[in-house]
């Protein structure tokens, strides 16, 4: 089990204030990591820190937008000075804008790509440069099933997450020689506060997900914790450039006809 021990490691989780980001951060903290989280909203940051500290985790927070290269550089420098060198980076910060491609405004498309793809590159470059000097590290990019599949009204999100998959592979290619492993996690459909309104019996999308998923259920946020710990730990030292899809098997199957049990 020492392969999965993160004691003494510092893990930066961007956007780790709620939902899946928080679930992964808790998994890292349970394995012994010290947490650093980021947000663009003061109230969310403070609430998340209160939550983490209430569970006994060592956690600190920094307020900035990952697309602001100058401020992000200043904040990473401040983090290192105050907390120590960053061993693990989880690029979790992201947004989605649902709008048909025919009518989506270009500035909205650009904003999604900026946050979900360019922001991840900015943080990876800033932290990666420090990891090179310190002898290595782990970078985990939070991709999506939309890194592989299309879906109505999410053209910007799919473009960004598809790009993030290839960015993950390219950074792994360039940085493996520095003992930096760059991998991704692609979550499926999870039971979060955001999906609560549609996770009810009789809702068409709820029925679709349960029938489309071989595991026949929504994922629990805790289902991501093990994958995050694996990719952040010594157990994955020879795993590089991979996207681990935690989706209950959706991407493994074409689905089943309506007349099948």
Comparing CA positions, the residue from 185, 183, 127 lying closest to residue 11 is 127
CB-based contact 99:153 (threshold 8 Å) = yes
CB-based contact 60:35 (threshold 8 Å) = yes
Chain centroid, CA 95 distance in Å: 11
Distance CA 180, CA 239 (A): 10
Q: How far is CA 157 from CA 4, 61, 77, 162, in A?
A: 32, 26, 30, 8
Among the listed residues 52, 62, 157, 245, the single catalytic one is 157
Burial of 8 per CB tally in 10 Å (0-12, 13-18, 19+)? exposed
- Which residues, at least 6 apart from 42, have a Cβ–Cβ distance to it below 8 Å? 63
What does residue 12 show for φ and ψ, rounded to 5 degrees?
A: -100, 120
The answer to whether residue 57 is catalytic is: no
User: Residues with catalytic annotation?
Assistant: 157
């Amino acid at each position: 089990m020492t392969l999965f021990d993160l004691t003494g490691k510092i893990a930066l989780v961007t956007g780790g204030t709620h939902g899946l980001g928080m679930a992964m951060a808790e998994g890292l903290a349970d394995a012994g990591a010290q947490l650093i989280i980021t947000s663009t909203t003061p109230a969310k940051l403070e609430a998340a820190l209160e939550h983490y500290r209430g569970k006994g985790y060592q956690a600190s927070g920094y307020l900035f937008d990952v697309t602001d290269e100058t401020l992000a550089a200043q904040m990473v420098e401040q983090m290192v000075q105050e907390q120590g060198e960053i061993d693990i980076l989880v690029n979790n910060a992201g947004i989605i804008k649902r709008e048909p491609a025919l009518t989506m405004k270009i500035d909205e498309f650009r904003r999604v790509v900026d946050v979900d793809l360019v922001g991840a590159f900015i943080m990876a470059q800033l932290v990666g440069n420090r990891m090179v000097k310190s002898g290595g590290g782990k970078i985990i990019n939070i991709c999506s099933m939309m890194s592989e599949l299309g879906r109505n009204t999410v053209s910007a999100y799919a473009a960004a997450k598809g790009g993030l998959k290839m960015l993950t592979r390219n950074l792994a290619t360039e940085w493996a020689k520095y003992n930096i492993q760059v991998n991704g996690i692609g979550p499926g459909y999870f039971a979060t506060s955001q999906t609560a309104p549609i996770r009810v019996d009789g809702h068409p999308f709820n029925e679709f997900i349960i029938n489309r998923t071989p595991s026949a259920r929504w994922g629990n946020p805790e289902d991501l914790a093990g994958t995050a710990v694996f990719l952040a730990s010594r157990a994955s030292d020879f795993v590089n450039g991979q996207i681990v899809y935690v989706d209950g098997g959706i991407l493994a199957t074409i689905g089943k006809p309506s007349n099948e049990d």
